[in-house]
Structure 1
């Protein structure tokens, strides 16, 4: 894995000699002003000055095909979203302690995409805040403190969510009351009994908590297991684990920041693929197409006493401008039928990849759903040993040919293909043409 604070596909200062002088100067200025904590993508970082559709443009006006960024879910600078933001910013921007129509209109539209059991929405600014709030509610309702997460999960950057994010690395230890369980890996373990294996891991983690005097509060997972290398299948494998959680008095929190908003092509939300109704659902990044808005959706009975005893307020959570952006995003997803596009174009992408990669020994698996696809690189198909070097060479070779992509998984060996939802079959062909050019460099 990349050595830069364990960040996958992170820029390493030791590679500075291979970066052009103007870029080095900008990196130096950035380091002086922003400090050492901020990281950059790619061996050769790229500077952007504008974006439109599924492309970003550098200072020379060259387009880069975006096959990675899920934040501009309805594409970069979508005119309907831009117009909604501008109109609202010139009219009113305030918080949720005043009565306004827009927040109610959006809340109803959002809740209409969920099962009836999930009846309240609470707004935050970021997915980290949403997960933090969901944990607070779960702990208040259950009286427990212990949470179970997947072994390479990422759930945020607040103190509480960093402590449930193993992917942040060993210098960010898990919380004392947190236990991790292996994510499913059907490539290595097969697709049989996935539900039983995962549920057994959850059950063992609960027992371990009890053995150490920790009261169990809940299970929180990204329903696409995105940071774990995109482990989506088989559909339905989460249900048995959720049953175990409920039997133990805990709650199930579905983190939909990455798999939600029609990303997986089969339904609006990733949890739907598993035939479960979560107790709480969190969402973030794509919600406002880049503006800071996130939320939790929750069963009303879970916040009845919480609302009386603790209350909740967030000055910018649910502000008028961000709500306008979020409402426009929902409208675009519906009016342009991006769920269908995600399903159809995603299937075409997976078929194109599988056909091109057939028989290539360093490619172990192509998996995914909708416009969320993983390509796993291995030393060889017999050993199935992860090959992070090959994956990252492809990521950086694509960058040099102006295609943006990244990687995921504990071994950083899974290409993470996650373009904006209006991605077309023509865009897939454009991506595949460049992908075929760079692949011989790692074989």
Structure 2
């Protein structure tokens, strides 16, 4: 490797102290100096009393005339309605000041600071930001179209006219041989395509680096870019290379959605129309740009080892290259052309016109089969089985004579689990399952092209019609009329999946229309590309003689309907929530077929969609459902089972509908049994929404006025939070108990008597924080000495969730007088219980009979028993222990790497991650927690914040959570924490 290559440009050697002196002595500027990132220069932000400026120290290889060109370009673009920096003269009046530092001759410039939030502050770019990037790039191109300066004729490694030379010079810096050869192979092919049109590409002065690093948005700009902050790469170059650089940025910012570049391209082309040659060169130029970024970054890190900026960018530069290299180049070029074509295309229907000659003869609309997310064919997880669509369809065809799939359907069978990538679920064609040897007819006039042994492309006036699964007639290259026989359906759909009706084999014929002429479109695409792809591949139902189906409902419109009829105080997760319509085990699936690992749903303990629960409900509903004043066996069986599980001496059960009702009843039991007047509750807790349950709840996250509005019969004691509480550490119980003793003395002095103490045995609302060792035993001893009862609110943490323990109180080695449970009991069915001693229950009878209309119904009891059976039979407590330990260890490893992780709480599958902005001060990072949850959703994980500061991730998934899903969550969390920490 030639260390003297013009592409080897280590940054100038300059410390912050030296930069501070230069700014003072040469420009008369003093203030707080911070270094900014750069590949090959040095940039320092200086915050002065008068405002903020940037000291730019150019690489010694940059000629002064080139810096003059940059200043002139900035002046030329004044009036462009963009915030741009301006050069500030030095003490001696020059806008470029030459100095010598440690033997280096350096040119300095001082520029005004462009206010705004860098686009790099956004973890993920919005559609508006992506389009704004393209629009700003075009505006700069137009603004520089008539700009000429001798300093723009420069040798620059970012000039894509020299992209091949840069790659050749720097590719040896890639240490991994396989990656090095892949980059060389991909970039060589792209360079060859560019060479075919290079002579016809327009050349002018370009900015050269309109990317997220160099643009900002002011507050209130709704994602629109308002300023450009760096013009260090201004030079002569291909006009279209400006757009290629911007598209490469979009690729590494939106790797899951590579077609997002089409929004950038469309916005650019709306201001600067592209020529035929530029349309041909654009995609290969994007590939070359990503390759140049990769080799430049690798070389810079080798040469300039302390360049953290270049090192941090390497991963995303490789990601951009790999994303680009994975695309079908011909398809991308065709999509680019389609995007920037005559805008009348945008108005075309998403369906093609009907015809007198259906492709497959008359088809029965009733034979259309449902393969969507809500299809009953996919119950009990069958959608994960291979070839399930084919089996469902061929079975239907065997019954009905034929079966037809639906265009524009988001297929559940295409959903992938445990992935951050978007599932490719949208069907762009129709599959017909019908007797083999059925005739296939041309529905329109066109040219027949036999593509392969089972595929014919019929080239019509407005679109191509692709027909797959047929034995083609000898028509290749012939112009044919509508009604001409194209061939017959093949004999079977696949080995092992052939079905027969009266001895007739079932064949599958796929029909797909496309406006990408001559290019075979994909049969399935990602939902994010639905709007584009449904323009490209319109609905072919009409050429099959079928009615066009209405499009799927919009989740946003449904949310508006919800807000119109449903009390908004009953909040929903996420500002723009996915519309979830199916669950399976620990996965949730939205209407677009995107899957999410459910890390928050402790209600659904044994998992979503469990067939045993579905069957138990169906069976019991068909027999009887009434109230517990009637006599039936299910109630007895269920309460006996609960008593078996309860710790001695708890032997009596009340059945209710929810945790709130259970807590409310428990408080009434205690007040009735003791005849005393005061209930002790810990701060920060949440116990329910009824008058009594809310009275003992003091979480300000659930009720901002909680601490001001407690009734007189409730006394709050200090929350024994061993991590962020008044006293810290697992050995802090004596200090908290000493405070409790003082509370009890005060109450006694006021003549108040204690009826009960209520607390969760693990701080669920705080994210699963374990209580200090011995705390509950000390509290319970004090309560019983005063004749008070001890209530354990086990609504969130019981039922094996802690893994090692079935009940939360076991972790503290205590037995309460009353246990309240709910949530997990019914796996989503409303079911709650209070378990206590017989004497406590009987004393309550003095106040009259107790009755809950649906509590203890046959249906509830049957479901409750089934949940316990499933937990036992599927080893879910053991799974909570094993997977929970693995998950917690992984979270703790992330805590070792990321300062924003302040603490990891809990055990089993009740865990919490507290996010902080300052570990020493333990400052809650509420905004970070919110952003993190939004980003995890986009990576296929549902998690939500909890705690009084909404900064603790509550991790309480169904107990069937798999190791694979736990690892997917950890990987996704690691990625988001990494992005938020840069």
**TM-score normalized with structure 2 length:** 0.42
Please give the per-residue CA displacement for 1:322-350, whole angstroms capped at 9, x wherever unaligned: 11111001111111121111111110001
What's 1:344 paired with?
882
Alignment of 1:60-75 (within 5 A): 60-75=592-607
What's 1:5 paired with?
none
5+ long unaligned stretches in structure 1: 1-14
SS in 1 for 2:852: coil
What's 2:864 paired with?
326
Please give the per-residue CA displacement for 1:53-109, whole angstroms capped at 9, x wherever unaligned: 111111111111101100110001211111111111111111111111111111111
- Is residue 915–residue 926 contact of structure 2 (8 Å, CA) maintained in 1? yes
Greater mean deviation of Cα atoms: 425-434 or 350-359? 350-359
Q: In 1, Cα distance between the equivalents of 2:569 and 2:919?
A: 37
Q: Does 1:221 align with 2:753?
A: no
What's 2:712 paired with?
176
Q: Does 1:315 align with 2:853?
A: yes
Q: In 2, Cα distance between the equivalents of 1:359 and 1:436?
A: 9
The partner residue of 1:104 within 628, 632, 636 is 636
- Is residue 229–residue 410 contact of structure 1 (8 Å, CA) maintained in 2? no
- Is residue 239–residue 275 contact of structure 1 (8 Å, CA) maintained in 2? yes
Greater mean deviation of Cα atoms: 382-391 or 118-127? 382-391
**1:199 shift after superposition:** 2.2
Q: In 2, Cα distance between the equivalents of 1:234 and 1:425?
A: 30
Q: In 2, Cα distance between the equivalents of 1:355 and 1:237?
A: 29
Q: Does 1:248 align with 2:780?
A: no
The partner residue of 1:280 within 795, 799, 818 is 818
Please give the per-residue CA displacement for 1:407-435, whole angstroms capped at 9, x wherever unaligned: 22111111111110011111111111211
The partner residue of 2:567 within 31, 35, 38 is 35
The partner residue of 1:154 within 662, 674, 686 is 686
Structure 1 pair 217/38, CA: closer, same or farther in 2 (3 Å)? same
**1:193 shift after superposition:** 3.4
Alignment of 1:258-277 (within 5 A): 258-277=796-815
**1:379 shift after superposition:** 1.6
Q: In 1, Cα distance between the equivalents of 2:743 and 2:629?
A: 41
Q: In 2, Cα distance between the equivalents of 1:25 and 1:180?
A: 44
SS in 2 for 1:219: strand
Alignment of 1:355-370 (within 5 A): 355-370=893-908
Please give the per-residue CA displacement for 1:234-288, whole angstroms capped at 9, x wherever unaligned: 4543111111111222111001110000001111110111111100000011111
What's 2:63 paired with?
none
- Is residue 123–residue 318 contact of structure 1 (8 Å, CA) maintained in 2? yes
- Is residue 607–residue 958 contact of structure 2 (8 Å, CA) maintained in 1? yes
Q: Does 1:195 align with 2:733?
A: yes
Q: In 2, Cα distance between the equivalents of 1:192 and 1:322?
A: 39
Please give the per-residue CA displacement for 1:366-423, whole angstroms capped at 9, x wherever unaligned: 1211001111111222222222222222112112222111122111111111110011
SS in 1 for 2:615: helix
- Is residue 895–residue 903 contact of structure 2 (8 Å, CA) maintained in 1? no
**1:110 shift after superposition:** 1.2
- Is residue 183–residue 225 contact of structure 1 (8 Å, CA) maintained in 2? no
Q: In 1, Cα distance between the equivalents of 2:948 and 2:797?
A: 19
Structure 1 pair 329/192, CA: closer, same or farther in 2 (3 Å)? closer
- Is residue 894–residue 901 contact of structure 2 (8 Å, CA) maintained in 1? no
- Is residue 183–residue 231 contact of structure 1 (8 Å, CA) maintained in 2? no
Structure 1 pair 76/414, CA: closer, same or farther in 2 (3 Å)? same
- Is residue 70–residue 418 contact of structure 1 (8 Å, CA) maintained in 2? yes
What's 1:115 paired with?
647
**1:25 shift after superposition:** 2.9
5+ long unaligned stretches in structure 2: 1-219, 224-527, 529-552
**TM-score normalized with structure 1 length:** 0.92
The partner residue of 1:396 within 922, 925, 934 is 934
Greater mean deviation of Cα atoms: 370-379 or 210-219? 210-219
* Alignment RMSD (CA, Å): 2.0
What's 2:837 paired with?
299
Q: In 2, Cα distance between the equivalents of 1:201 and 1:424?
A: 43
Q: After TM superposition, what 4+ stretches of structure 1 lie above 6 angstroms from structure 2?
A: none
- Is residue 656–residue 854 contact of structure 2 (8 Å, CA) maintained in 1? yes
Structure 1 pair 176/73, CA: closer, same or farther in 2 (3 Å)? same
What's 1:53 paired with?
585
- Is residue 42–residue 399 contact of structure 1 (8 Å, CA) maintained in 2? no
SS in 2 for 1:267: coil
Q: In 2, Cα distance between the equivalents of 1:51 and 1:192?
A: 38
Structure 1 pair 212/228, CA: closer, same or farther in 2 (3 Å)? farther
**1:313 shift after superposition:** 0.9
Q: In 2, Cα distance between the equivalents of 1:359 and 1:392?
A: 20
What's 1:374 paired with?
912
Greater mean deviation of Cα atoms: 166-175 or 132-141? 166-175
Q: In 2, Cα distance between the equivalents of 1:246 and 1:220?
A: 13
Q: Does 1:407 align with 2:945?
A: yes
Q: In 1, Cα distance between the equivalents of 2:680 and 2:556?
A: 42
What's 1:421 paired with?
959
- Is residue 163–residue 174 contact of structure 1 (8 Å, CA) maintained in 2? yes
- Is residue 733–residue 773 contact of structure 2 (8 Å, CA) maintained in 1? no
